[in-house]
A = this chain, B = another copy of it.
Amino acid sequence: MVDNDKTGRLGFGATMAEVAALAGVTKMTVSRVLRHPEKVTPATRARVTEAMATTGYVPNRLAGSLTAGATGLVAAIVPTLRHSLFADTLEGLADVLSEAGLDLIVSSSAYRTDVEESQIRSLLERRPEALVLTGLTHTPGARDLLRGFGLPVVETWETGDEPIDMVVGYSNRKAAHAMTRQLLLAGYENIVFVNGPSENNERARHRAEGYLSAMREAGKEPPPIHVVHDEGAILPETGANALRAVRKKLPETDALFFTSDVFAVGAVLACREAGIAVPDAIGIAGFHDLEIGRVVSPTLTTVHVPALEMGRRAGEMILARLSGRRHGAREELGFSILQRASTRPPTK
């Protein structure tokens, strides 16, 4: 016979036909042993099972999915895996999905929506059963593509008015508002907000809005927002630099509210080096509740965000949708303000 392996055979192991031949049955019976074992006589079932074992047969799910109409795949796109927050969300998601036998395919977009769009396009070719995105900011092309395709989409890490499909997030606006208010209640007067670039990022924009509204409600004219342009890596040094820049430009500043604990921790360390008293001479608050904030001294006041939980809820929403159960399409999870040592406590 002709050598079978010269063809670019996908598999390495045996095919279902080979197993069938060895067991002296047809493919169909082998298929039944896998999908509906009760429909096959124990005797044949045993022969087939043995044939599968001796050939080391592993079913080819590509072929199966092609007819069955379900791939058992869910795709997720995060800005980066190197940020524990997004990794947490993925872990929560993977956790829930794996119990339902769904596999997760992951891409990282490097915070770029154009990259995200091309990844979406490429991922759709694999016919995932759902897609999880980070944030609400996407290219128009991506939105159109997804709306047209009609597959379940969950956007995470934010809440907003026009989701593509489902959303699970928390309000960055409310969270920034709450933290700003907390600082005001602690008696800080000149609170500067240090944000990342917001052109492309709904989260950053919303946090800025929350800060501004809290300031105005307190009857304060907010000082200009300081924006750090972190190219790629998010580093504590960036926070230290921001601290210096702000204190030079606005010497009366008595509190800084950073959009990330990473920056805030950098600022705390810089203060210690420079001999600036935290929280008395200056208060420092962060965002995200990272481990570094618990470890730095003084410990960092911050906003805890439900990273893992968002992943879990996203997974549950997907499962609900896939099984046709009723379920909410927008879920707003809570955050919490963690008052620690880097700011004075509110004097209520």
Contact B149 A56 (CB under 8 A): yes
Tell which of B9, B81, B291 touches A91, judged by Cβ atoms closer than 8 Å: B81
Given A103-B123, A265-B295, A297-B297: A149 and B94 interface contact (C-beta under 8 Å): no
Contact B104 A106 (CB under 8 A): yes
Contact B87 A10 (CB under 8 A): no
Does residue A105 face the partner (Cβ distance < 8 Å to B)? Answer: yes
Does residue A219 face the partner (Cβ distance < 8 Å to B)? Answer: no
Q: Nearest-CB distance from A90 to chain B (Å)?
A: 5
Does residue A244 face the partner (Cβ distance < 8 Å to B)? Answer: no
Could you mark each residue 71-112 of chain A with 1 if its beta carbon is under 8 Å from any beta carbon of chain B, else 0? 101000000111010011011001100100101111110000
Does residue A150 face the partner (Cβ distance < 8 Å to B)? Answer: yes
Tell which of B68, B87, B105, B126 touches A82, judged by Cβ atoms closer than 8 Å: B87
User: Given the complex, which residues of B lie within 8 Å of A7, measured CB to CB?
Assistant: 69
Contact B70 A81 (CB under 8 A): no
Number of interface residues of A (CB under 8 A): 64
Interface residues of A in 259-301 (CB under 8 A from B): 262, 265, 269, 272, 291-292, 294-297
Q: Nearest-CB distance from A114 to chain B (Å)?
A: 14
Contact A88 B82 (CB under 8 A): yes
- In whole angstroms, what is the CA distance A122 to B59 when docked? 9
Q: Nearest-CB distance from A321 to chain B (Å)?
A: 14
Which partner residue on chain B sits nearest A292 by CB separation? B295
Does residue A247 face the partner (Cβ distance < 8 Å to B)? Answer: no
Which partner residue on chain B sits nearest A299 by CB separation? B269
Interface residues of A in 101-150 (CB under 8 A from B): 101, 103-108, 121-127, 145, 148-150
- In whole angstroms, what is the CA distance A272 to B308 when docked? 31
Contact A90 B98 (CB under 8 A): no
Interface residues of A in 16-52 (CB under 8 A from B): none
Q: Nearest-CB distance from A5 to chain B (Å)?
A: 11
Contact A13 B104 (CB under 8 A): no
User: Given the complex, which residues of B lie within 8 Å of A65, measured CB to CB?
Assistant: 10, 62
Contact A87 B81 (CB under 8 A): yes
- In whole angstroms, what is the CA distance A310 to B196 when docked? 30
Please indicate which of the listed interface residues A68, A87, A98, A269 has the most CB atoms of chain B within 10 Å of its own CB. Answer: A87
Contact A124 B8 (CB under 8 A): no
Contact B69 A94 (CB under 8 A): no
Does residue A60 face the partner (Cβ distance < 8 Å to B)? Answer: yes
Contact A69 B10 (CB under 8 A): yes
Contact A94 B107 (CB under 8 A): yes
Which partner residue on chain B sits nearest A7 by CB separation? B69
Contact A149 B87 (CB under 8 A): no
Q: Nearest 7 pairs between A and B by C-beta? A: A8-B69, A61-B125, A81-B91, A87-B87, A12-B150, A56-B148, A10-B69
Instruction: Mark A residues whose CB is within 8 Å of B.
Output: 7-13, 56, 58-66, 68-71, 73, 80-82, 84, 87-88, 90-91, 94-95, 98, 101, 103-108, 121-127, 145, 148-151, 236, 262, 265, 269, 272, 291-292, 294-297, 308
Mind listing 15 A-B residue pairs with CB under 8 Å? Answer: A8-B68, A56-B149, A59-B125, A60-B125, A61-B126, A62-B65, A62-B71, A62-B126, A62-B127, A82-B91, A87-B87, A98-B107, A103-B107, A236-B294, A269-B295
